[in-house]
Structure 1
Amino acid sequence: MTPPARIGLFGLLGSGNLGNDGSFEAVLGYLRAEHPGAALSVMCGGPEIVASRYGLETTALNWYEGEYRTASGPLSIALKGFGKLVDIFRTIAWVRRQDVVIVPGMGVLESTLPLRPWGFPYALLLLSASGRLVGTKVALVSVGANVSTQRVTRSIIRWAARLATFRSYRDEPSRDAMRTMGVDVTDDRVYPDLAFALPTPSEPVVPRSVGVGVMAYHGGNDDRARADAIYESYVDNMTRFIAGLVADGRPVRLFIGDRADEQVVDEIMRELDSPLITAAETSTLDDVLRAMSAVETVVATRYHNVLCALKLAKPTLSVGYARKNEVLMTTLGLGEFCQSAREIDVDALVRQFAELESRAGELTEIAAKRGAEQARLLEAQFAELSAAFLPMGVR
């Protein structure tokens, strides 16, 4: 009798980022449907949450629990350094127990937001190197990437990608970025973001309602000195835009994409203090999809908030922090409705929103058609993964 396939899933999962968890849920749904007998294990940032929510065996991504907090003294610095050594052996041991490890989407090859090279990039490098060492296949599936401006980060990401067995990207610029960074992408494919494979809910729509996805945006890696000013400007401009919606009698539903964004929701609600503003209670991307299906139009910053709106075929306006938002919007037919989160022009945003609503019927039809195609492409990718890595159950 053929033993069940041993499949590992790896990433910053259960750590508060709803997009990451949504990508994971899409792959988990595929594995449970197509490979129901597989033995699944997860190495992740939030093992307790993942274990309780999905009923899976989990292992902590890092030995040191304070890995992603800023070191506050000599002891924490020493523990972080020691943890890096311990994690080498922990990662090898976990990878050795798997037949294949899947990194489910996410921007694992990106550095568009503040990122330390010895944080997750290092963990990803350990994964890929461990796979090569013990003969376990590592698949980076529909991941995001960009060209890092930090030399050490760029080098670590490049080697993490090079050592993986399989790579696919969620858009063409991601593949181009890895080519620029020195990775041979000849055999690498581009498929949609994994969240397009999630079920699409449908709730009664509140007339004239607007969903606004906000973010605790502090700029990127090169903006650390200006982070507070960037954050304050972003929150102020989004608050001004929402105030205009409220003045027009519009019900506004606020959305987050990460636990860190809750502070922005609190600030906006406290500043405007209006019964027309509510905050969607969401702990998963499925929650976001369900709550967002009840609004008419969406204005959002985080990539997966924008994706959820487009998946639901909502007229959508992106106030994005990276090129990936613009690429996604263009792919779904709404490329002209974009602004930069770094320098929001509120007056222009109001004009764009008015045009968005005036063309709602046309844009909804386009987004629905293109969204369905994204889901079909992901079915093809899942079939490719099964054929490449799981035809007989084990290596």
Structure 2
Amino acid sequence: MTAARGGEAGVTAERGGEAGKSAARVGVFGLLGSGNLGNDGSLEAVLRYLRAAHPEAVVDALCGGPEAVTSRYGIPATRLHWYRGEYRTASRAGAVAAKGLGKLVDPFRTAAWVRRHDVVIVPGMGVLEATLPLRWWGFPYSLFLLCASGRLLGTRIALVGVGAAPIGNRPTRTLVRWSARLAAYRSYRDAPSREAMRAMGVDTARDEVYPDLAFSLPAPSAPSGQGGTVCVGVMAFHGGNDDRARAEEIHRRYLEQTIRFVRALAADGRAVRLLSGDGVDAPVVAAILDAVDSPLVTAAEPASLADLMKEMAAADTVVATRYHNLICALKTGTPTLALTYAAKSEALMAGMGLGEYCHPAREVDADRLLEQFRALEQRSAELRRTLPVRTLDAARRLEDQFTALTAALFPSAGHAHATREAS
């Protein structure tokens, strides 16, 4: 057994002896290890579940960043795409040809990987949405290959706690719809996600809604924000898939108004800690630091959701854009204001009793944002009492998610568990 960092998320990586012959072969799939902390947090949550409920399982990954996944979580990992430059813009003829060849090779690679497993889990993530820019021939195509391979080869594909949203682009919508239909198990991280899939023609009558998987991760022992620090979680935000024509305009406004907001906080003597949730956010952090020349404004370099939570637990207030930045803030019980770009963030905030503290990321207005921020801080003491209760409830509901997952994907294990409980 190879131990993950900290010894917390590791699961059996190699088969051996008689026990290995009966161990379930479990794959995890997605844009994991590619720099997005939210995606990796979802993976960590599922690995923790497998380690606790199915320690005998033999686990590996097909993912975007196999080296990072193996290094951090101690499981074997294979590159998601044959072509290494899949997510880089292909401008030269050779790159275009290689990317096209990869689309022909990947179905065979994906099927060969799926065949080796009893179960494949897609852990959380917004895999059924297009709230950020993407092309149908990118991840939607990869997800369809996974689900189609599972159906053809008899491997159970589970979309666990995933996000979904209405999709305007027809090819993307078609691939997403068929991916969902071909999966053996589906659950969603919020009610709007289930409704979006129902509206796309997927039968969701048996699909359940649970909190986001990241709510099952451990949080710092107790919030300690007493120093006046404000954590501002930023994002390389350019709108969604349907905003491509306005992408630069949206990004420019987002950045300019965020700079104004941070500058105003610094002028009031507040320490500001800039946070990100993906490597692509680094230029936004750098631009704010350059524009707001103040020793009160600093930046962190979080490598995990745990790092984000440590920063946020020490803050008085959090203002953030990325969905999993919001979850980290809420997990620590810190009063939070959301710059929202999709229904998932609005649903999350409403469920935590913070629906009035949402601000549109596409139309950031620094003056209005400051008003909301000050109103939020006036309720700080109250929210520090109520948020821990709500997040604890979310964590408990995720125990039901994992119980349902065992029953659906590991029926013999679920039966054995029930028998032990009855004896």
Report the number of matched residues: 394
Larger mean CA deviation between 198-207 and 23-32 belongs to: 198-207
* Counterpart selection for 2:183 from 164, 171, 193: 164
Shift of 1:390: 1.7
Shift of 1:391: 3.6
SS at match of 2:363: coil
Shift of 1:321: 1.1
Question: Does structure 2 conserve the Cα–Cα contact (< 8 Å) formed by 1:128 and 1:160?
Answer: yes
Q: Distance in 1 between matches of 2:204 and 2:245?
A: 35
* Counterpart selection for 1:256 from 276, 279, 283: 276
SS at match of 2:269: coil
Residue 356 of structure 1 aligns to which amino acid in structure 2? L
Shift of 1:240: 0.4
Matched, 1:150 2:173: no
The answer for unaligned runs of 5 or more in structure 2 is 1-17, 415-423
Q: Distance in 2 between matches of 1:93 and 1:373?
A: 40
Question: Does structure 2 conserve the Cα–Cα contact (< 8 Å) formed by 1:5 and 1:393?
Answer: no
Query: Match of 2:143?
Result: 124
SS at match of 1:141: strand
Query: Match of 2:253?
Result: 233
Greater relative contact order structure (CA < 8 Å, 6+ sep): 1
Query: Match of 2:376?
Result: 356
Deviations 1:49-84 (A, max 9, x none): 111111111011000001111111222121111111
Query: Match of 2:202?
Result: 183
Matched, 1:20 2:39: yes
Matched, 1:242 2:262: yes
Q: Distance in 1 between matches of 2:410 and 2:306?
A: 27
Query: Match of 1:384?
Result: 404
Q: Distance in 2 between matches of 1:206 and 1:7?
A: 44
Query: Match of 2:214?
Result: 195
Question: Does structure 2 conserve the Cα–Cα contact (< 8 Å) formed by 1:204 and 1:294?
Answer: yes
Residue 215 of structure 1 aligns to which amino acid in structure 2? M
Aligned-pair RMSD on alpha carbons?
A: 1.3
Q: Distance in 2 between matches of 1:119 and 1:286?
A: 29
Larger mean CA deviation between 231-240 and 67-76 belongs to: 67-76
Matched, 1:97 2:116: yes
Question: Does structure 2 conserve the Cα–Cα contact (< 8 Å) formed by 1:14 and 1:44?
Answer: yes
SS at match of 1:392: helix
SS at match of 2:412: coil
> Please, what TM-score do these two structures have when normalized by structure 1?
0.98
Residue 134 of structure 1 aligns to which amino acid in structure 2? L
SS at match of 2:362: coil
Residue 138 of structure 1 aligns to which amino acid in structure 2? I
Larger mean CA deviation between 228-237 and 135-144 belongs to: 228-237
Question: Does structure 2 conserve the Cα–Cα contact (< 8 Å) formed by 1:46 and 1:60?
Answer: yes
Residue 86 of structure 1 aligns to which amino acid in structure 2? V
Query: Match of 2:229?
Result: 209
Matched, 1:373 2:393: yes
Q: Distance in 2 between matches of 1:183 and 1:303?
A: 25
Question: Does structure 2 conserve the Cα–Cα contact (< 8 Å) formed by 1:334 and 1:363?
Answer: no
Residue 33 of structure 1 aligns to which amino acid in structure 2? A
* Counterpart selection for 1:297 from 317, 320, 334: 317
SS at match of 1:71: coil
Query: Match of 1:346?
Result: 366
Deviations 1:79-109 (A, max 9, x none): 1111111111111111111110000000000
Question: Does structure 1 conserve the Cα–Cα contact (< 8 Å) formed by 2:313 and 2:333?
Answer: no
Q: Distance in 2 between matches of 1:212 and 1:319?
A: 10
Shift of 1:393: 5.8
The answer for unaligned runs of 5 or more in structure 1 is none
Q: Distance in 2 between matches of 1:49 and 1:136?
A: 26
Moved over 6 A (4+): none
Residue 218 of structure 1 aligns to which amino acid in structure 2? H
Q: Distance in 2 between matches of 1:364 and 1:139?
A: 36
Query: Match of 2:336?
Result: 316
Shift of 1:225: 2.4
* Counterpart selection for 2:65 from 41, 46, 53: 46
Matched, 1:37 2:56: yes
Query: Match of 2:132?
Result: 113
Shift of 1:365: 2.1
Query: Match of 1:283?
Result: 303
Q: Distance in 2 between matches of 1:181 and 1:315?
A: 35
Shift of 1:297: 0.5
Question: Does structure 2 conserve the Cα–Cα contact (< 8 Å) formed by 1:209 and 1:296?
Answer: yes
Q: Distance in 1 between matches of 2:71 and 2:364?
A: 40
Question: Does structure 2 conserve the Cα–Cα contact (< 8 Å) formed by 1:137 and 1:164?
Answer: yes
SS at match of 1:354: helix
Q: Distance in 2 between matches of 1:298 and 1:204?
A: 13
Question: Does structure 1 conserve the Cα–Cα contact (< 8 Å) formed by 2:231 and 2:312?
Answer: yes
Residue 79 of structure 2 aligns to which amino acid in structure 1? A
Matched, 1:59 2:81: no
Residue 254 of structure 1 aligns to which amino acid in structure 2? L
Question: Does structure 1 conserve the Cα–Cα contact (< 8 Å) formed by 2:232 and 2:318?
Answer: yes
Q: Distance in 2 between matches of 1:223 and 1:331?
A: 27
